[in-house]
A and B are shown apart, each in its own frame.
Chain A
Amino acid sequence: DILMTQSPSTLSASVGDRVTITCRASQNIDSWLAWYQQKPGKAPRLLIYEASHLESGVTSRFSGSGSGTEFTLTISSLRPDDLATYHCQQYKSYPWTFGQGTKVEIK
């Protein structure tokens, strides 16, 4: 199985800050990576697919980059509504696997 490792596990940032979350794959997954946002008590919501493609309806404050084994999710200017846990998921090969999540807190 492909192991997905996110860092940090938790981050605390102020409104307006630029925030970056990293996701590393244990083997090459090309650009077959998705990012999800999960607000407390809610289901995940798709933000980005194929590493850098913004899902329809998602604010352009979110962006994704990377390929191979290292990927980043960036929030350009943090807002209170961005309080959530962010998950990466590889879909290069079965079984589809997720990172352990990164919790974003607002200072």
Chain B
Amino acid sequence: QVQLVQSGAEVKKPGASVKVSCKASGYTFTSDDINWMRQATGQGLEWMGWMNPNSGNSYSAQSFQGRVTMTRTTATNTAYLELSSLRSDDTAVYYCATGRRATTMYGPLNQYYFDQWGQGTLITVSS
């Protein structure tokens, strides 16, 4: 079965960077985009961006552009999210998820929802 297993919780100081991993199994890693979301305590989910494991191309939401880097290592079926210049309001649980493409009778669209999720990684930013 499809599994996404994320790295463990981390505590970081303001201004530092953090790198979260997401190891995929049970499917062909290069066939589905990996998306990243985060959720602050008691808040809704916030989509951060996607990375195509086949090409390495990525796209991040405007609010994260310049601070987020999404990469992968195909040899180990692992995707990575790196967030830099951390602030206290970056404290959240970070999730990876595979994106499933919307389809119509005319073919697939570049519109995605999320069908398989990692277990989440708590990142705490505190001085």
- Chain A residues 81 to 99 lying within 8 A of chain B, measured CB to CB, are 87, 89, 91-99
Knowing A49-B113, A91-B112, say if A43 contacts B44 (CB, 8 Å).
no
Q: Is the interface of B mostly helix, strand, loop or mixed?
A: strand
**Roughly how many angstroms separate A45 CA and B114 CA in the complex, as a whole number?**
9
A-B CB contacts (within 8 Å), total count: 57
**Roughly how many angstroms separate A98 CA and B45 CA in the complex, as a whole number?**
6
Q: Contacts of A49 on B, CB cut-off 8 Å?
A: 100, 102, 113
Q: How many residues of B contact A (CB 8 A)?
A: 23
- Chain B residues 52 to 107 lying within 8 A of chain A, measured CB to CB, are 59, 61-63, 95, 97, 100, 102
- Chain A residues 21 to 78 lying within 8 A of chain B, measured CB to CB, are 32, 34, 36, 42-46, 49-50, 55
Q: Contacts of B63 on A, CB cut-off 8 Å?
A: 95
- Contact status B47-A97, CB under 8 Å: yes
Q: Is the interface of A mostly helix, strand, loop or mixed?
A: loop
**Roughly how many angstroms separate A42 CA and B39 CA in the complex, as a whole number?**
12
Is B46 positioned at the interface, with any CB of A under 8 Å from its CB?
Answer: yes
Q: How far is the CB of A52 from chain B (nearest CB, A)?
A: 13
